[in-house]
């Protein structure tokens, strides 16, 4: 299937006429892969998750929730026009077309939740949920001990305000350390930008927990289905964010 204009896809799905679909798009009620759509945007149902008012355009009966241990070198998208490796390749055998909840940049690794439940994904990723995320961060630089309190304080980097992180030292050697950094905002490149602001170079960044979800011993590049308890937890986060 070739990419088509969103209003055509919405109309053919029987959700609204093309004219009404345009109004839905203009009102910000349509999302493609979690991003607010715009007039003229095209999508492909073979690759893209299209939602209207938080509901998938496709009526999927079987909802799938999985956890992937994303390796470095993969982009958190379903396809990449530049030909880079994507997380979609790693979960192709999960039995459903699932999409990432939030993002990890190409050079980051670790816990990534993927699902075809668009409502749960959007609500889980919403900032109002205040989901704490912990990363193991290997850093290099001078005066690491003196810089940790700076990482725990609010800061502004290139006009972006960060609330600060809770930091615990896991390992320490001359000029290097492994830190556990916990944040709730999850802004783009947040930890990397904060470390750069205090002149610490990030050598490795791995997400190990997201709320009560833990990566545990899941191997690099491998995935598993969430347990029933974990799915209940994910859905409870969504319910909280709607209040």
Positions marked active-site: 105
CA dihedral 144, 213, 57, 22 (to 10 degrees): -30
Give the C-alpha distances (Å, rounded to integers) separating 185 from 11, 77, 191: 36, 21, 10
Comparing C-alpha atoms, which of 153, 226, 217 is closest to residue 183? 153
Return left, alpha or beta for 199; rule: phi > 0 is left, psi -120 to 50 is alpha, else beta. Answer: left
* Helix pair angle (144-151, 190-197), 10° resolution: 130
Write the DSSP assignment of 86-114 as a string of letters: BHHHHTTTSSS--EESS---TT-EEEEEE
Burial of 213 (0-12, 13-18, 19+ CB in 10 A): buried
- CA 21/CA 7 separation, integer angstroms: 5
Which residue is listed with tokens 């029987």?
14
CB atoms within 10 A of CB 14: 8
Stated as kind and residue range, the H or E segment containing 163 is none
* 51 strand-pairing partners: 31, 56
């Amino acid at each position: 299937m070739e990419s088509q204009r969103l209003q055509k896809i919405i109309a053919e799905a029987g959700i609204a006429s093309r004219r009404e679909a345009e109004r839905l798009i203009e009102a910000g009620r349509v999302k493609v892969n979690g991003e607010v759509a715009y007039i003229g945007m095209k999508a492909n149902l073979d690759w893209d998750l299209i939602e209207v008012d938080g509901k998938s355009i496709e009526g999927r009966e079987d909802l799938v929730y999985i956890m992937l241990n994303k390796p470095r070198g993969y982009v958190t998208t379903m396809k990449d026009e530049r030909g880079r490796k994507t997380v979609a390749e790693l979960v192709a055998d999960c039995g459903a077309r699932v999409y990432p909840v939030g993002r990890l940049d190409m050079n980051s690794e670790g816990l990534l939740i993927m699902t075809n439940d668009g409502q749960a994904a959007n609500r889980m990723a919403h900032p109002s949920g205040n989901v704490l995320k912990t990363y193991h961060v290997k850093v290099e630089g001078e005066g690491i001990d003196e810089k940790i309190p700076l990482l725990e304080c609010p800061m502004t980097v290139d006009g972006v305000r960060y609330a600060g992180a809770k930091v615990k030292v896991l390992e320490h050697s001359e000029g290097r350390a492994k830190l556990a950094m916990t944040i709730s905002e999850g802004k783009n490149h947040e930890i990397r930008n904060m470390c750069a602001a205090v002149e610490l170079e990030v050598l490795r960044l791995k997400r190990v927990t997201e709320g009560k979800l833990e990566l545990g011993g899941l191997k690099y590049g491998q995935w598993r289905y969430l347990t029933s308890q974990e799915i209940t937890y994910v859905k409870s986060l969504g319910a909280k964010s709607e209040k």
